[in-house]
Amino acid sequence: MEVINIKFNYEIAEPLMNKNRNRDYNLATKKMMEQNLFLIPPFGRITIEIENNFKTEKASRSLNRMIHSHSFLADLYTSYTATKNKDIVKYAEYIINEWLDFKDMNSDNDMLFHDETTAQRMLYWIKFYYICSDEFSQIFSTRFIKEIEDTAKLLLTDDFHSTNTNHGMFQDISLLTYSLLNYEQPKNSIEYQTAICRLSNYFKNTYTLDGINKEH
């Protein structure tokens, strides 16, 4: 297995990555860790049954997309940056491991690999890796690296790509960010070249000569 770095070009890549959605990320983290309450805008505080296939009492497609994109990671890695509380990283490891087990047993669940959801999850994952990987257990690190690499390979495939849609744009932003962090010279990588080519084609084709977005 190729060992990823995700330690390069952070200042360039950082604006492309997902930030926390809650202003009080420390409180959001505390609620998650102590009460199993996830503050997921715009859905409010949600109880997620982590060990029961990530079920919630307010199930909806939109909420499931937020859950399976792992948007809650942003509060965790932002809080860890502020507090250096290693328990936060261990808690995040626990959630991701449970989700990976769920994914492995439900590989036919289309929500887990929804086009934009996968792209957003990758953005949360690689920032989490960049910020917190020094605190990872060895077993988790090995597993997580493989999942990130597998997601990068998936995002590269034409069959998975949502061409000329905003979902495809997010897929390519995710792939571009991965390439920036994973390679010291990202412009030479297939991930960078593919993402830039797709993004260029998207922006050229999604607007009319009058500047109107065709998709929306």
Structure tokens at 179: 């390439």
- Model confidence at 174, in pLDDT bands (50, 70, 90)? very high
pLDDT value of residue 139: 96
Sole residue written with tokens 């049954």: 49
Answer yes or no: is pLDDT of 168 > 70. yes
Q: Which residue has the higher pLDDT, 110 or 113?
A: 113
For the stretch 117-153, what's the b/e string if a residue is b when 16 or more beta carbons lie within 10 angstroms of its beta carbon? bbbbbbbbbbbbbbbbbebbeeebbebbbebbbebbe
Length of the chain: 216
Q: Mean pLDDT across the stretch 129-138?
A: 95
Percent share of the chain, pLDDT over 70:
97
- pLDDT tens digits along 99-112: 999 999 987 787 89
Q: Distance of alpha carbon 20 from its chain centroid, rounded?
A: 12
Contact 208, 214 (CB under 8 A): yes
* Residue 89: partners with Cβ closer than 8 Å, 6 or more residues away: 76, 80, 132, 135, 136
Return the domain boundaries, the chain.
Answer: 10-154
pLDDT value of residue 216: 65
Sole residue written with tokens 């250096």: 84
Contact 128, 92 (CB under 8 A): yes
- Model confidence at 206, in pLDDT bands (50, 70, 90)? confident
- pLDDT tens digits along 14-64: 999 988 889 999 999 999 999 999 999 899 999 999 999 999 987 789 999
The secondary structure element, H or E, covering residue 31 is helix 25-35
Answer yes or no: is pLDDT of 1 > 60. no
How far, in Å, are 87, 130, 135, 148 from residue 28 at the CA level? 15, 21, 21, 25
- pLDDT averaged over the chain? 92
- Model confidence at 84, in pLDDT bands (50, 70, 90)? very high
d(CA 145, CA 4): 7
Answer yes or no: is pLDDT of 93 > 50. yes
